[in-house]
Structure 1
Amino acid sequence: MKTTLEPHEGAALDATRYSGWTLMSIIILGAVISLPGLIAPALAVQLAQQLGLSASQIGAYFFIELMAFSSAALPAQFWMGRFDERRVARVAAVVFVVANCVTAGMPFHLGELLALRFVAGLAGGTLGLLCMTSAGMSPNPDRAFGLWIVGQLVAGAIGLYFLPQLFAVFGLKSLFLCVAALTTLALPLCGAFSSRLTKPVRRPRGAGRVRQAGAPGRDGRFALLVVSAVCVFYLAIGAVWSFSSRAAAGAGLDPILSGKILSIATLMGIAGAMTASVIGGRGSRRLILGLGYGLLIAALVGLCTGPHLAGYAVSVFAFKFAWTFVIPFVFAVAAKEDASGRLTSAVGFITGVALAVGPLVAGVLLDRGVSYGALCGGAAVLCAISFLCMLLANRRLAGAA
């Protein structure tokens, strides 16, 4: 049985258990731990140039790290609710720093590199999970998820602009040392996660003080729709974004110029997430999702055509804007009926799995002769399926209100 709180009780919980420092920790730590994935196009180029990796090997690199990142949700089922979140965050941050420092100081042999990236991914995923569940417990999850993504995009924009230049001088170790240093600076923020953070469920006006939870079948269908939408969405995103340097090369761009354009694209992503944050819970979610997904699919169709410089820039700008505009609303739909945080945890797990599998599948397909344009076409189809799942999930959510 699910209990609900009177509005004034919920407000009191919001004020005492959810602080501005918690929001800051979500934004900053979420940005730092996600940096290697955020600069995936530039990293893919450097892995190919410095280590001589093929597209499928680069896909395996991203698969290992991102799969470890998402696998953090599995041990979380044990420690969540049993251990102080602040202590878990500190331990994970220290492990993340050590793993990145060791990676930077070792010779880059593929096997050892993948093992260390697995450890780093598991520690980073634990921090990421704390960020996601804390954002879902916010009094305004639409806004919290939007700001969480803005923080990542700011870090990604800076990384895509500067890291290709650092790669040219210092190689891959510059990335791992930067991530370790930034995590060390952000370590005090681990204490801002609220211990035993719980989300109040506000009681609708005129409803009884206690109401029964929804039927298991309905809840299961809702969760399946949300998880499916997130899964196919991030499969498409992971495949397209990780190898977007292929489209840049086809448009005649060198790696440094490509990094600058992708950095500007990330600024467009910031605009998308900020727009989502400003809109928050206002307006028709169905219309908002329709506009966001429509622009995303149009951008993928544009990338299918193998555009020259101007067309590539416009398509990748629209792609990044739409991607980051849509996803806060997707996460907010999941968090809306998730009082325990477990569905949000499951969505975080699926996000990481899909982001890991996307580059792996894309790398294998590219090595087997599939064009990047065909890859974008398949991604557009997956995004259309994701949109359909979200429409059905949102309808169920509205019908249960």
Structure 2
Amino acid sequence: MNTTPATTASPATSTPLWVYALLAFVATAGFFYINIMSAIVDGLVTGWGFDNAQAGTVAAANIYGASAGALTAALVVRKLRWRPTLALLLGVLLLLDIASVAVREPTPLTLLRAVHGFVGGMAVGISYSVMARTQSPDRAFGMLLLVQFGLAGLGLMVLPPLVPTHGAQLLFMVLAGFSAVALLALPMLPRFDDAAAAQDEQRQALTPTARRTAAFALLAMFLFQGGNMALSAFIIGLGERFGLARDFISHTLGWATWIGALGAVAVIAMGTPRNRLHPLLVAFALTLVGTAAFFWSGSKAVFFAANVGTAITWSFVVPCLFGMLSKIDHSGRLATLAGFVSKMGLASGPLLAGWVLRGGGDHALIATALTILALSAVATLAGAHRLDKESAP
């Protein structure tokens, strides 16, 4: 396995927390729409009159486009200078979000958001390649989830109640504003080595054992993101169909997302752990229990607790998986590839959920998400066990 320490020639080897935070903010701009996807899907349904399948298709196209962009980034990242490339991509994202305000038909909006996703996916992939070369990738990706969940909590608490009055266009303007702020933050990042220079020092090929471990982690990422997003994208409507008020649901999602950031804080505090299996075992136990609890969403207390529990594990497991892949390959290529796989899972979740809801209802959706997450647990724990064993002294 390629476990050579990260290069000491770069500032990334002594990265302070504020740099992690800025990197996380810039990366988040490329896919913040994913973090408020439930608000966007609900806004398309309640604000613009889309049905569930149409709204789910728009969401899926946005994230499938991001998957294609992330894959493209994985292929070309060695040839690009990360700072000017990110500046260009963020500027295009800003324009695409503004354009989305004027498009009210499902098919044109689906195409536009697919292009938006592609551009954002490239921006995120390039950001991931930089984060993977920091001294502690686990900590870098933990900060990423902390920033995402903190901002998403605010968005989910504030935005859904405004959609019936202001329409879904409000959501796209918020996304445009986020891209604008990220553009302003980009020059404050310190100078990092370009991906090509970093990879010149990382030419060692992965061993067959390392490739198998990486395959487990990538499969786990796809299933985990897909299972979570299948439920999350339609959680507002699910809560309403269980008899909960919109204001309560909105505030629940906001508080759950903020509290859920504790999972990312735990990853930042752990840094790069020697034993990954045991904390991940606890995290997946909480994930499965929390997801199953959505069967009793008619209870406000259960609905709140289920959202909090699954949010904590979501922000914990994802950076752990990125950290596993960064440990296997310090060049950042696997982390960039994981961005592609992650977005494929996030895109597949809403698409599958829209059709499950059309054919089977809320209980079928919860059961589907639970099954997918259980399969992710198997893949994650298998990969973590192999990595712990291979990394042991």
CA distance in 2, matches of 1:35, 1:53: 22
Alignment partner of 1:258 is 2:254? no
Aligned 8 A contact 1:18 1:194 in 2: no
The answer for the alignment partner of 1:177 in structure 2 is 173
Aligned 8 A contact 1:68 1:118 in 2: yes
CA deviation string 1:88-111 (max 9, x = no partner): 10110110001011112x141122
1:255-294 aligned at under 5 Å gives the runs 255-282=246-273, 284-294=275-285
What 5-or-longer segments of structure 1 have no aligned partner?
A: 203-209
Q: Which letter does structure 2 place at the counterpart of 1:266?
A: T
Alignment partner of 1:302 is 2:293? yes
The answer for the alignment partner of 2:376 in structure 1 is 386
Q: Which letter does structure 1 place at the counterpart of 2:44?
A: L
CA distance in 2, matches of 1:361, 1:243: 11
Aligned 8 A contact 2:21 2:147 in 1: no
CA distance in 2, matches of 1:111, 1:226: 35
CA shift for structure 1 position 128 = 1.3
The answer for the alignment partner of 2:140 in structure 1 is 144
The one of 229, 232, 236 equivalent to 1:238 is 229
Alignment partner of 1:67 is 2:64? yes
Q: Which letter does structure 2 place at the counterpart of 1:397?
A: L
The answer for the alignment partner of 1:399 in structure 2 is 389
1:1-400 aligned at under 5 Å gives the runs 4=4, 10-14=7-11, 18=15, 22-104=19-101, 106-191=102-187, 192=189, 194-197=192-195, 213-215=205-207, 217-282=208-273, 284-368=275-359, 370-400=360-390
CA deviation string 1:227-283 (max 9, x = no partner): 111111111011011111133113322323311110011012112211221122246
CA distance in 2, matches of 1:250, 1:212: 54
CA shift for structure 1 position 2 = 6.9
Q: Which letter does structure 2 place at the counterpart of 1:176?
A: F
Report the secondary structure of 1:53's partner residue. coil
Q: Which letter does structure 2 place at the counterpart of 1:260?
A: H
Q: Compared with structure 1, are the counterparts of its residues 84 and 20 closer, same or farther at alpha carbon in structure 2 (3 Å cutoff)?
A: farther
TM-score by length of 2: 0.90
Q: Which letter does structure 1 place at the counterpart of 2:20?
A: L
CA distance in 2, matches of 1:145, 1:324: 10
CA shift for structure 1 position 43 = 2.0
Q: Compared with structure 1, are the counterparts of its residues 31 and 345 closer, same or farther at alpha carbon in structure 2 (3 Å cutoff)?
A: closer
CA deviation string 1:30-89 (max 9, x = no partner): 333333221222222221112222221111011100011111123224431112111110
Aligned 8 A contact 2:3 2:329 in 1: no
Q: Compared with structure 1, are the counterparts of its residues 261 and 211 closer, same or farther at alpha carbon in structure 2 (3 Å cutoff)?
A: closer
CA distance in 2, matches of 1:213, 1:92: 31
Aligned 8 A contact 1:234 1:354 in 2: yes
CA distance in 1, matches of 2:309, 2:335: 27
Q: Which letter does structure 1 place at the counterpart of 2:129?
A: T
TM-score by length of 1: 0.89
Q: Which letter does structure 1 place at the counterpart of 2:347?
A: A
Q: Which letter does structure 2 place at the counterpart of 1:188?
A: L
What 5-or-longer segments of structure 2 have no aligned partner?
A: none
Aligned 8 A contact 2:64 2:117 in 1: yes
Higher mean C-alpha deviation, range 386-395 or range 332-341? 386-395
Higher mean C-alpha deviation, range 257-266 or range 157-166? 157-166
Aligned residues: 388
Aligned 8 A contact 1:150 1:273 in 2: yes
CA shift for structure 1 position 378 = 2.5
The answer for the alignment partner of 1:207 in structure 2 is none
CA distance in 1, matches of 2:86, 2:127: 10
Q: Compared with structure 1, are the counterparts of its residues 85 and 339 closer, same or farther at alpha carbon in structure 2 (3 Å cutoff)?
A: same
Aligned 8 A contact 1:292 1:325 in 2: yes
From the CA coordinates, give the structure whose radius of gyration is larger: 1
RMSD between aligned residues: 2.6
CA distance in 1, matches of 2:229, 2:140: 23
CA distance in 2, matches of 1:353, 1:337: 21
CA distance in 2, matches of 1:327, 1:78: 22
The answer for the alignment partner of 1:206 in structure 2 is none
CA distance in 2, matches of 1:236, 1:260: 23
CA deviation string 1:107-139 (max 9, x = no partner): 411222122212221121122112222222121
Report the secondary structure of 1:156's partner residue. helix
Aligned 8 A contact 2:263 2:313 in 1: yes
CA distance in 2, matches of 1:101, 1:308: 39
Report the secondary structure of 2:10's partner residue. helix
